[in-house]
């Protein structure tokens, strides 16, 4: 796969340069510039929300720094978690004096480094952790805490970010973020892989006519691999799997995110949305604030994910609250 890049080792830093040069609302900071923060800095008296993760997923992770969303985001190399120093910087730069929520997707390396960063700062800054665990294909319902975080983390960012803007304290922001994660389910389908900068091979291989249901955004194995089906059949299966895992206390309002993994045209996402939304209506669910687009990608990977966020009154109002980042604006 051909890439518009210079030296592979410069891929991440040059992309971060371009991202911040084009978007004056965010800036690079921290050790080696591997934290993106709001240009105006941490707001005194507001709980901070810090995230982090590997590069190669734009708009995730760094693209969600902005008002009503993240305060800071540490960023690693492509598909590698941020280092401990960057995680510490992200926490410090998010601190407005009322503590910091560490909100990131459940991957081993990210967890280890963020935990260590939190411990090293524990005398200075009170922190809590909420992990995105929305990928229903990555572990059974009984082990839902072991699930990976994928596109559904966007709901957690939006809802936690909005809660923090209300002036809520760290425990309240943490509880609301945890509620958002508990209310969110995602499943993906992969059509074609991506290739890491400088790598000789794609992240995985898939037959010319094959797709893989439930594959993770780094090519983690899914549920089945078989011939491509129609968009409606794929949407049916994805929705059936998501609805089978609806939270027990779920109400009748739901937000849906039909997310492109990178190379999949918007037209195809809207074809998926068309059928998925009818299916939700048939299940007597009311769609609130639907999202269709590329929110969480893996470079040029082809495929899509569907996330559902089951809303209560608080989650609904936090999702609708004003927010602004380079890639998304609400209200």
Beta carbons of 327 and 64 less than 8 angstroms apart: yes
Strand-pair category, 184-192 with 210-213? antiparallel
Instruction: Rule CB under 8 A: say whether 15 interacts with a second copy.
Output: yes
Q: What separation, in Å, do the N-terminal and C-terminal C-alpha atoms of the chain show? A: 39
Nearest distance in Å: CB 28, a second copy: 12
Which of 156, 192, 254, 308 is the binder for a second copy (CB under 8 A)? 192
Instruction: Rule CB under 8 A: say whether 17 interacts with a second copy.
Output: yes
Which of 14, 119, 169, 245 is the binder for a second copy (CB under 8 A)? 14
- Residue numbers annotated as active site: 57, 218
Which of 101, 117, 263, 325 is the binder for a second copy (CB under 8 A)? 263
Which of 244, 266, 283, 322 is the binder for a second copy (CB under 8 A)? 266
Could you tell me what percentage of the chain is helix, strand and coil, using 3-state DSSP and rounding each to the nearest 5? Answer: 35, 25, 40
Tokens at residue 187, please? 């499943």
Backbone angles phi, psi at 99, to 5 degrees: 95, 170
Kindly write out the interface string for residues 163-182 of this chain, putting x where it contacts a second copy by CB under 8 A and - elsewhere. Answer: --------------------
Instruction: Rule CB under 8 A: say whether 262 interacts with a second copy.
Output: yes
Which 22-81 positions form the footprint of a second copy (CB under 8 A)?
22, 55-56, 58-59, 63
Selection from 161, 130, 104, 100 nearest residue 321 by Cα: 161
CB neighbours (10 Å) of residue 265? Answer: 10
Kindly write out the interface string for residues 271-290 of this chain, putting x where it contacts a second copy by CB under 8 A and - elsewhere. Answer: xxxx--x------------x
Selection from 84, 81, 93, 146 nearest residue 116 by Cα: 84
Instruction: Rule CB under 8 A: say whether 232 interacts with a second copy.
Output: yes
- Taking the C-alpha atoms of residue 317 and residue 102, their distance in angstroms, rounded to an integer, is 22
State whether residue 301 is helix, strand or coil.
Answer: coil
Instruction: Rule CB under 8 A: say whether 221 interacts with a second copy.
Output: no
CB neighbours (10 Å) of residue 222? Answer: 19
Instruction: Rule CB under 8 A: say whether 230 interacts with a second copy.
Output: yes
Backbone angles phi, psi at 273, to 5 degrees: -60, -45
- Pick between residue 59 and residue 68 the one whose CB is nearest to a second copy: 59
Beta carbons of 26 and 36 less than 8 angstroms apart: yes
Tokens at residue 17, please? 């340069």
Range in contact with a second copy (rule: CB under 8 A) among 83-91, 170-178, 225-233, 314-322 = 225-233
| Sequence-distant contacts of 207-210: CB under 8 A, at least 24 apart | none
- Pick between residue 180 and residue 299 the one whose CB is nearest to a second copy: 299
Which of 265, 283, 286, 322 is the binder for a second copy (CB under 8 A)? 265
Kindly write out the interface string for residues 83-112 of this chain, putting x where it contacts a second copy by CB under 8 A and - elsewhere. Answer: ------------------------------
Instruction: Rule CB under 8 A: say whether 157 interacts with a second copy.
Output: no
- Taking the C-alpha atoms of residue 39 and residue 324, their distance in angstroms, rounded to an integer, is 13
Tokens at residue 280, please? 């939700």
Backbone angles phi, psi at 220, to 5 degrees: -60, 140
Residue count at the site for a second copy (CB under 8 A)? 58
Instruction: Rule CB under 8 A: say whether 82 interacts with a second copy.
Output: no
Nearest distance in Å: CB 266, a second copy: 4
Nearest distance in Å: CB 2, a second copy: 5
Tokens at residue 66, please? 């902005």
Contacts with a second copy, residue ranges (CB under 8 A): 2-6, 11-12, 14-19, 21-22, 55-56, 58-59, 63, 189, 191-192, 194, 208-209, 211, 228, 230-232, 234, 258, 262-274, 277, 290, 292-294, 297, 299-300, 302, 304, 327, 329
């Amino acid at each position: 796969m051909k890439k518009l890049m210079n030296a592979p080792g410069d891929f991440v830093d040059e992309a971060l340069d371009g991202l911040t040069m084009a978007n004056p609302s965010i800036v690079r900071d921290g050790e080696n510039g591997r934290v993106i923060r709001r240009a105006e800095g941490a707001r005194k008296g507001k709980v901070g929300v810090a995230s982090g993760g590997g590069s190669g997923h734009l708009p995730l992770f760094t693209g969600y720094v902005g008002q009503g969303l993240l305060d800071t985001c540490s960023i690693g190399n492509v598909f590698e978690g941020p280092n401990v120093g960057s995680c510490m910087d992200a926490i410090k730069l998010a601190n407005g004096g009322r503590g910091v929520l560490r909100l990131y997707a459940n991957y081993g390396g990210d967890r280890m480094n963020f935990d260590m960063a939190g411990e090293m700062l524990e005398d200075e800054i009170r922190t809590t952790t909420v992990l995105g665990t929305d990928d229903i294909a990555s572990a059974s319902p009984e082990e839902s805490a072991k699930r990976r975080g994928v596109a559904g983390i966007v709901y957690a960012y939006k809802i936690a970010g909005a809660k923090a803007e209300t002036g809520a304290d760290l425990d309240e922001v943490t509880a609301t973020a945890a509620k958002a994660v508990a209310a969110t389910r995602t499943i993906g389908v992969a059509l074609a892989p991506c290739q890491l900068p400088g790598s000789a091979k794609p992240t995985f291989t898939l037959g010319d006519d094959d797709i893989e249901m439930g594959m993770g955004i780094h090519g983690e194995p899914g549920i089945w691999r078989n011939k491509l089906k129609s968009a409606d059949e794929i949407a049916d299966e994805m929705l059936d799997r998501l609805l089978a895992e609806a939270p027990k206390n779920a109400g009748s309002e739901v937000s849906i995110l039909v997310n492109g993994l990178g190379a999949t045209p918007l037209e195809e996402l809207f074809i998926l949305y068309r059928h998925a939304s009818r299916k939700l209506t048939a299940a007597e669910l009311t769609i609130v604030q639907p999202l269709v687009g590329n929110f969480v990608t893996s470079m040029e990977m082809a495929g899509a994910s569907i996330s559902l966020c089951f809303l209560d009154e608080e989650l609904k109002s936090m999702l609708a609250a004003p927010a602004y980042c380079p890639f998304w604006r609400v209200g």
